[in-house]
């Protein structure tokens, strides 16, 4: 699998994960905790995307 295809697949998967986390926060979190839930969902997305980027550097 080429590096470009892997990068696109990982990015799409992480975007779908972020959407799922946002929906989960919207439906499951109590109203006062929703803003913190959205912040955590975005933070998880940023850390995972950064980790994926660092791993893609080492892929040949």
pTM: 0.82
Q: pLDDT by residue (tens digit) across 41-52?
A: 999 999 999 999
Distances (CA, A) of 1 to 7, 19, 43: 10, 26, 29
The whole-number pLDDT of residue 22 equals 95
Backbone φ, ψ for residue 29 (5° rounding) = -80, 140
Encoded tokens for 29: 């979190």
Report the run of H or E that residue 11 belongs to, with start and end. helix 3-28
More confident position, 25 or 57: 25
Q: What pLDDT does 1 receive?
A: 73
Report d(CA 60, CA 1) in Å as an integer: 10
Give the pLDDT score at 16.
96
- Please, which pLDDT band fits residue 34 given cuts at 50, 70 and 90? very high
């Amino acid at each position: 699998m080429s590096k470009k295809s892997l990068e696109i697949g990982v990015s799409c998967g992480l975007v779908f994960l972020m959407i799922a986390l946002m929906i989960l926060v919207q439906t499951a979190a109590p109203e006062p905790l929703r803003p913190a839930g959205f912040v955590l969902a975005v933070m998880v997305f940023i850390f995972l995307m950064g980790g994926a980027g660092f791993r893609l550097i080492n892929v040949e």
